[in-house]
Amino acid sequence: MKGVLATHGVPDSLRADKGTQFMSSEYVKFAKQYGFDIATSSLHFPQSNGLAERAVQTAKKNLQQEDPDVAFQNYRNSKHSAIGMSPAMALMKCPLKGRAPVHARVLNPSVEEREKLAATDKAAKDRYKYYYDQHYGAKHLPQLQPGQPVQLKTDNQKGWSQPGMIIESD
């Protein structure tokens, strides 16, 4: 992780599931030392961490290729439909040189406004959320209040039968 941070810089926050590698006291201390927060999603509900799940799916597909390094380079140079540019362009402001011949002027860094990229990305995510919510009938629920009774379900239960009570609310 230190190598990644040395190459790309320290993020404001890291999005992760509640896997032991991210929740260990050693990693929490590391994050605090480097000054970034760990934003977690539900460990047993992978849909809540869709971005990471999609990245894992893409990585698995690339690792099955004859030459995974070339597959990853091609992925990083391929335009992403949501933001209209490749991951390499979004991160480094220029495409990566690969084995395919390309004119030198294409490899020159371009100046892409960060706000425009962020707005395009947000609009795409909002669109995805809208259609996901429409398909699955998601709706906003009222904020839970301390003292309010709730039903709980543990991993080995089929239904929501365990009584509980809200102790604290964000």
pLDDT recorded at residue 87 = 85
Distance CA 108, CA 93 (A): 9
Three-state SS at 80 = strand
pLDDT tens readout for residues 26-35 = 999 999 999 9
Q: What share of the chain is helix, strand, coil (3-state, %, to 5)?
A: 50, 10, 40
Q: Mean pLDDT across the chain, nearest whole number? A: 84
Stretch 8-37: mean pLDDT, rounded? 89
Q: Are 95 and 103 in contact (CB under 8 A)?
A: no
> Predicted confidence band at 148 (pLDDT cuts at 50, 70, 90)?
very high
Distance CA 17, CA 41 (A): 5
Planar angle of CA 89, 117, 34, nearest 5 degrees:
80
pLDDT tens readout for residues 90-147 = 887 777 777 777 777 767 666 666 777 788 889 989 999 999 999 988 888 889 999 9
pLDDT tens readout for residues 39-78 = 887 766 666 667 777 778 888 998 998 998 888 888 888 8
Q: Look-up: residue for tokens 């927060």? A: 37
